[in-house]
Each structure stands twice: as C-alpha cells, then as structure tokens.
Amino acid sequence: MHRRGLWALLLCAAAAAQSNQPPAIPPALESITAARLRGHVSFLASDLLEGRDSPSRGLDIAAEYIASQFRALDLEPLGDNGYFQTIHWEVLDSAPTGITLTLDGAPVDPKFFRVTAGGSIDAEGTIANLAPGETEGRIVRLESAKPSTIADAIRILRNAPPAVVLIPDEHDTLRKAGVFNPRALITPGGPPRGKYVYVILTGPAAALAASAATARFHMPPALITPARLWNVAALLRGSDPALGAAAILLSAHYDHEGVRPDNAADPILNGANDDASGTAVLLEAARALASLPERPKRSILFLAFVGEEKGMLGSKHYVKNPLWPLDRTAANLNFEMFGRTEEGEYTRPGQMTITGSGFSTVTDAVRQATADLGAVYFVNKQGNEEFFSRSDNLPFALQGIPAHTLTPGFSFADYHAPGDEWQKLDYANMQLAARIATLAALRLANSPDEPSWNLNEPSVQRYAERQAARRKATPGSPAPEATQPPHQPPLHP
C-alpha cells in the first residue's frame, strides 16, 4: 500500500472514531415539555372545536390557533393571506327529505335506510350482484357490510359506476364505525363525488334487501354550497447560503371527523390523538427550532393540513399549489398519533418508528435520534407499507420527495371514536417522542447530504423515478425571496 492510501485510511479511522461520540443534543429540545403539549392538545381537541370537521367553524378556530402560534414565533408566513393558504372547495349535502326506496314493490321505511352524499338519482330494475361488467348504471347489491367487501367493491365499481349500491347491514355496524357520510367535500379536478350512492339498510330492511329481486330508488338533487378552507404554512429560513434554498417539511393534519349527531351520549369526535397530537408536536418542533441560538442550515417548512380525513385533500391540494418549490423540498416528516401508548406491541411507551421504514435515508436520521434520546426504534412489519400510503406524506412521496409519517404507535382503542379525548394521552411519552421528531428534523436540516430513496427497496421505485424525472425537468428553481412578512394580513371588509 502506498503512503497516500495509508493516510486516507488513517483519516477515515479518525473520522469514524469521532462519529462514535454521541452527537450533541441541543438544550432547546428540553423546552419541549409534556405540559406544553398537553396545552395545545387540550385546546385543539376541546368540545368547543366540535371535532374540526372539514369545513367547519371549529376547524377555522384551530387554524387561527396554529397561525397565532406561528405568529408568536415570528416565523415567515408563506400563505396567500398571512399564514393561510386559502382553498375554495364545495360541500355536497344529500337532500334531507324526499329520498324513497322500494324493494320488490314495497316501500322501505326511511328510518331503516340511510344514503351517502349524492343527488339527482332515479333508478329502477332487477338488482345486480357485484360482478365486473354487470354494474354500470344499475342497482347493485353487496353481500355484506364488511370493510374488505366494500374495498373490493369500490375497485369494481370505479370502472363501471352503478346508480345505487345496496348494503344490508342489520346491526348498523357501518354507522357505528363512522363509515359513509351524507355530506361530501368536493374538490375541483378530484374524483367525482355523488355520481352514485350507497344505501345502507338496517334492522328488518337488511333482510329484505338481501333477498329482494327488484328495487326502485329516487333521490332529489343535492345541495351544493361553496366552502373556504385553509392549510396553515410557515417558514424558518435556513442559515446556510446554499443549503438554505432547500427545506425540510414538517407537517401534521389538524382536521378530524366532526360531529356524529346520532351518537347522542357523546356526539363529538374530538380527534385528540388523531391528530391534535401531531399538530401539537408540529407547534412544539417549530418553537424549539425557532429558539435555537443558530438557525438550522436548511430551511424548515411547517405545514398544518386540512381535509386529511376526507382523503388527504389538504396535502393533495398543496402539492398542486406548493408555497415552496417541490424540487427544493428535501424531505417530509409528517406527524401522526403521538399520544396513545396503551395497546401493546406497536403502541407502547418508549418507542418510535416511521411508516415506509427503510424506504429512504430519513429512516437513519429517525433511528439515530431515537437511540440518542434513549428510546427504541421499531418496525411495524404488517403496517409499514400500508400505513405509508395512508397519511399526508403520500402526496409528497408521489412527487418524489422522501416523505414519511413518524409515530410512536399505531392502533388505539378510540381510533375515530368519540372517546379520542385529550385526557387519555400519555404526555410524558409524547414529550420524548416530540423531542425525537424534532432532533431528527434538525439533523436532516443540518446534514450536508440530501435525503434520498433507498433503491434496494422494490416499493420505492415509483417514488425514486418521479424524483429523478423531476430533477431532470427542473434543474433547481430558485428559492422564494424572503417576504416582508405581513404579520397582520389585510383586514377583510
């Protein structure tokens, strides 16, 4: 071996020895406390905000709260109206009366069926079974109300939309599970809503629906009203002249499922763990990162999304209307369900994971931060891939951005149920989890290496290809100029 080779080897060994030292934990992380997190969650998940349905007054109050926290930190507003990214959608409500259903010529009592969002439907004829090629424009029947049956049905029905889908559900399990709604949020360019409807039959009508040969269905036109919603967006500009043009995106959804009026005992779905907890972590990460003596090298973008529960609508809107260039968005850490720890293997204190674990180098940053703060990194073998496509990280991954959802746990007893209340969260563990998330974000922001997809993982090919294609198409658009922040947006008349 020649001398230069030996020198290189010695230098490498020295660097390796140095990197074995645990990296410093910035004291700013210690300001993220259980009490602060509890403060945010208890407000966002209070009954007064009525479950933060998209759209609703409670949702807007939550958005104002998030904006006020960003304002207090003097973060740069990125929206069209201060911190708000204004979104114009429409709400489709089924007509409250005048819907009629007849089975084998006999009218069904309206108290034994309910209908999903839609309108202007008239259909009549023999009831078809669910089979490819036999559903278009017809009245179709599903054999059971099991979610797996419905998921299979949706795949067939998408290609040949029927007029009506009858679902016998004797014990009203779908309503209790909160599946299907007489109201829908309509987004321009989104999938057509209300083209066909599901009719769920309960009690004695379920047996009738299961055996009937013919049906007739009438539904008056739907009511359509304009809706204005907000994503909330703020920026902490990076200190490094070169790296600062790229941003690490931290996100959480602040909406939930609103009110279920037929659940008289407790009609409000507070969504404390899902996802007031993630929103609280976003706010605390923002506060801790903004209070560092030296700003992180890369910029950090903070986004609170609406409409996640309606199908990731807020994040999908954002990737079509980005406030910071997508090709300058280096990674996304999305925060979900940070507060509950009591369910066992995948939901217990002292641990952390990301969905799509192993898909990108973000995994290493989170794994390292988890270890450095004394927690255990775990992988949910069953859900790792499935959960990756079930939250707001997905629209960013589909744009080629390494994007994951961080969570210390998965299932919990009150998922999408009225019992998801702020008093039930494990705030001591949430403090630990929030510090891990913030430390991982900070290290990604300061790393000389840009996060990248792990090409050895077959599942990531389509995301990595998208990233490569976009890099080829746009060799790097300029970072937006610093705005003179209108901390007080113009008053509305």
Q: Which residues bind Zn ion (CB under 5 A)?
A: 274-275, 336
| Residue appearing with tokens 């790097």 | 476
Phi, psi of 225 (to 5 degrees): -125, 140
- Residue placing its CB nearer to Zn ion in the complex, 279 or 399: 279
Q: Which is nearer to Zn ion, 274 or 327 (CB)?
A: 274
CB of 177 to Zn ion, least distance (A): 16
Which helix (H) or strand (E) segment is 148 a member of? Answer: helix 147-159
CA distance 211 to 104: 9
For residue 35, the minimal CB distance to Zn ion (Å) is: 24
Q: How far is the CB of 289 from Zn ion (least distance, A)?
A: 23
Local structure of 46: helix, strand or coil: coil
Shortest Å, Cβ 274 to Zn ion? 4
User: What distance in Å separates the CA atoms of residue 312 and residue 392, rounded to the nearest whole number?
Assistant: 6
Closest to Zn ion by CB, 66 or 330: 66
For residue 282, the minimal CB distance to Zn ion (Å) is 13
Comparing CB distances to Zn ion, the nearer of 78 and 276 is 276
Q: In the bound complex, what is the minimum distance in angstroms from residue 186's beta carbon to Zn ion?
A: 21
Smallest distance from the beta carbon of 263 to Zn ion, in angstroms?
A: 20
Structure tokens at 101: 């259903």
- The torsion angles phi and psi of 198, rounded to 5 degrees, stand at -95, 135
In angstroms, what CA-CA distances link 427 with 265, 337, 340, 408?
27, 12, 9, 12
Q: Which two tokens stand for residue 148?
A: 């797996």
Distance CA 113, CA 106 (A): 14
Q: How far is the CB of 176 from Zn ion (least distance, A)?
A: 20
Residues 6 or more apart whose CB falls under 8 angstroms from that of 141 comprise: 127, 128, 129, 130, 165, 166, 167, 168, 209, 210
As a whole number of angstroms, the distance between CA 41 and CA 320 comes to 30
Backbone angles phi, psi at 421, to 5 degrees: -110, 155
Min. distance of Cβ 253 from Zn ion in angstroms? 6
Residue among 76 and 257 whose Cβ is closer to Zn ion: 257
Which residue lies nearer to Zn ion by CB, 253 or 443?
253
Residue number, 76 or 392, with CB nearest to Zn ion: 392
Of 53 and 327, the one with the shorter C-beta distance to Zn ion is: 53
- CA–CA separation, 259 and 81 (whole Å): 28
Nearer to Zn ion by Cβ, of 50 and 255: the residue is: 255
Neighbouring residues of 53: CB distance < 8 A, sequence distance ≥ 6: 59, 255, 256, 257, 258, 259
Residue nearest to Zn ion (CB): 275
> How many angstroms separate the first and last alpha carbons of the chain?
78
Q: Minimum distance between the CB of residue 356 and Zn ion, rounded to whole angstroms?
A: 16
Closer to Zn ion by Cβ: residue 231 or 467? 231
| Bridge partners (DSSP) listed for residue 124 | 216
Minimum distance of Zn ion from residue 44's CB (angstroms): 13
Our measurement of the distance from residue 55's CA atom to the centroid of its chain's CA atoms, rounded to an integer in Å, reads: 15
| Tokens matching residue 217 | 């269905």
C-alpha dist (Å) from residue 279 to 30, 95, 251, 334, 412: 19, 35, 8, 10, 18
Q: By the 8 A CB rule, do 163 and 194 touch?
A: no
**Of 212 and 437, which CB lies nearer to Zn ion in the complex structure?**
437
